Amino acid sequence: MYPVKLRIYMGLVGLASLVILIVSRAFLTNLDVSVAIFAGAALLSSLFAVEMMRGQGAVSLVLPVVLTVGIVMGPAAGAWMGTIPTMNQRELTGKVKWPSVLFNRAQFAIVGWSSGEVFRALGGDVGRLSLAGLSGPLIVAALVAFGLNFFINLIAVALRQERSLKEITRVYYKWMLPSFFVMLPVGYLMAAVYRVSGPWPELIFLVPLIAVRTWMVLVKRVHEMYNHTIRVLLVGLDAKDPYTFGHSMRVGQYGAVLARYMKLPEDVVEQIRHAGMLHDIGKMAIPDEILNKRGRLTIPETFTIQRHPVLGSSMLTQVKIAGCARDWVLHHHERWDGTGYPDNMVGEEIPLETRIVSVVDAYDAMTSDRPYRQAMSHEDALKEIMEESGTQFDPLVVEKFVELCSEVNLAAEEGAGHGWDRTPNIPIEELQAEYERELQEYLAKETPQE
């Protein structure tokens, strides 16, 4: 369901485009081959759009085409060509809700019309466009087209996610800025070529279209490979300690859910997911006999295991991944009251992202079955976390986490069905019996050193 403010906003944008389309209706009686070619180019650009940010945005060359139509064929053509030919694959296959489909049409109609109007108002003349000289009005028109496209969409995202426009701009500009730097020269060339040689040579622009799409797909693939690399690291850890793999995946997932709930920008949410997934990666460097020891740890053993945040962070530095998530991995055992490790950081000295990971880390550890104890219930785990608010955990993060947990049982809903099972392969009773037996044997043999 769309929030009320968003519905009002979408209605207003729709109304504005409707007025523009009615005023521009004469265009429909004047269709020719140029219209067909530009409509084809717009449709191809839309169909070949590359989705980024898990469906939250797409990069395509549809904007240069709409801009060019507005410039060379006039505002009325820009408005109408911004409607149907700009529909993308998701919209055409019914994956986008109809109000959003209409909103997108309205948005492109406004952009196409405005670019043409601005070009003319500034004295722009298509007859004088050339491949050699720059046209001031065209540059301004391109800026207007980009600005309108950027802000009309951004305001909608901010209203939908109920976040401030400033924060949404900070997160999204880097996804939209590249399309602008592609748009200006491509739009310019398309307009100039049309002036010099007519509509047919415009088809040559299919070549850069395909090239840019290939490049975008590669960028997306690099991003996916990055995620795979993280999983590969975790698979290595899984071979050593099967519990930690599922735990790490869940901590990443819960961390992302909590960060999003706390309205952190989407790029930070993704980094927190990575930090959560990698927080215990340093355990790969801890000897098996200490890591999997069932009895009480000796002081040297405790010291060794407490090195895992430092080891993890240094491993991530060496493979050059995880960005600032490395720091968050380093500090995931710091405590709000300053008694944690490795740096005894206090309160807000600990990065906020780490404080988020710490809370969900503890929550998952408590709500998972371990060889030596059954999982705690969601409610009991929350109670424990609240008791540690202000000592182990940041009170604000605990407050937000409890608030979130009143709406969703993370352990039951977010942890299930992702392929990272919360129950170990071996039945818990068997593991418990094995643990008890080994512990008794161990205690019979020697008294552990403190």
By CB under 5 A, the count of residues binding Fe ion is 1
Question: Helices (DSSP H) in 73-205: which residue ranges?
Answer: 75-81, 89-92, 98-121, 136-161, 165-197
- Nearer residue to Fe ion within complex by CB, 85 or 309: 309
Among residues 91, 117, 270, 280, which is the contact residue for Fe ion, using CB under 5 A?
Answer: 280
Give the span between the Cα atoms of 66 and 31, in whole angstroms.
Answer: 16
- Nearer residue to Fe ion within complex by CB, 266 or 280: 280
Q: Is 295 left (phi over 0), alpha (psi -120 to 50) or beta?
A: beta
- Nearer residue to Fe ion within complex by CB, 47 or 305: 305
C-alpha angle with apex 374: 372 to 379, nearest 5 degrees? 135
Rg of the chain taking only CA atoms, in angstroms: 28
Q: How far is the CB of 308 from Fe ion (least distance, A)?
A: 6
364 is an interface residue for Fe ion by CB under 5 A: no
Interface region with Fe ion, contact rule CB under 5 A, candidates 31-39, 68-76, 130-138, 274-282: 274-282
DSSP state of 338: S
Interface region with Fe ion, contact rule CB under 5 A, candidates 4-12, 57-65, 277-285, 432-440: 277-285
**How many Cβ atoms sit within 10 Å of the Cβ of residue 18?**
12
- Nearer residue to Fe ion within complex by CB, 241 or 384: 241
Q: How far is the CB of 225 from Fe ion (least distance, A)?
A: 26
Cα 29 to its chain centre, rounded Å, is 44
Angle, in degrees to the nearest 10, between helices 352-367 and 378-387: 140
- Nearer residue to Fe ion within complex by CB, 213 or 247: 247
Interface region with Fe ion, contact rule CB under 5 A, candidates 79-87, 140-148, 275-283, 374-382: 275-283
Q: Convert 307-328 to b/e letters by CB count within 10 Å (16 or more is b).
A: bbbbbbbebbeeeebbeebbbb
Q: How far is the CB of 302 from Fe ion (least distance, A)?
A: 13
Q: How far is the CB of 333 from Fe ion (least distance, A)?
A: 6
Interface region with Fe ion, contact rule CB under 5 A, candidates 107-115, 155-163, 190-198, 278-286: 278-286
Give the span between the Cα atoms of 28 and 296, in whole angstroms.
Answer: 81
Q: How far is the CB of 441 from Fe ion (least distance, A)?
A: 28
Q: What are residue 279's phi and psi, to 5 degrees?
A: -60, -30
Contact 280, 362 (CB under 8 A): no
- Nearer residue to Fe ion within complex by CB, 242 or 265: 242
Task: Dig out the tokens for 276 from the structure.
Answer: 């959560």
Interface region with Fe ion, contact rule CB under 5 A, candidates 147-155, 279-287, 299-307, 422-430: 279-287
**How many Cβ atoms sit within 10 Å of the Cβ of residue 364?**
27
Q: How far is the CB of 309 from Fe ion (least distance, A)?
A: 6
- Nearer residue to Fe ion within complex by CB, 81 or 357: 357
Residue list 407-436, contact with Fe ion (CB under 5 A): none
Q: How far is the CB of 283 from Fe ion (least distance, A)?
A: 7
Contact 167, 265 (CB under 8 A): yes
Q: How far is the CB of 424 from Fe ion (least distance, A)?
A: 19
Interface region with Fe ion, contact rule CB under 5 A, candidates 36-44, 126-134, 252-260, 276-284: 276-284
Q: Which helix (H) or strand (E) holds 34?
A: helix 33-47
Amino acid at 225: M
- Nearer residue to Fe ion within complex by CB, 135 or 244: 244
- Nearer residue to Fe ion within complex by CB, 280 or 394: 280
Q: How far is CA 86 from CA 27, 38, 108, 153, 424, in A?
A: 17, 11, 8, 15, 50
Q: What are residue 337's phi and psi, to 5 degrees?
A: -85, 5
- Nearer residue to Fe ion within complex by CB, 291 or 376: 291
The 97-116 contact track toward Fe ion, x by CB under 5 A, reads: --------------------
Q: How far is the CB of 349 from Fe ion (least distance, A)?
A: 19
- Which residue's C-beta sits nearest to Fe ion? 280
- Nearer residue to Fe ion within complex by CB, 175 or 341: 341
Residues that bind Fe ion (CB under 5 A): 280
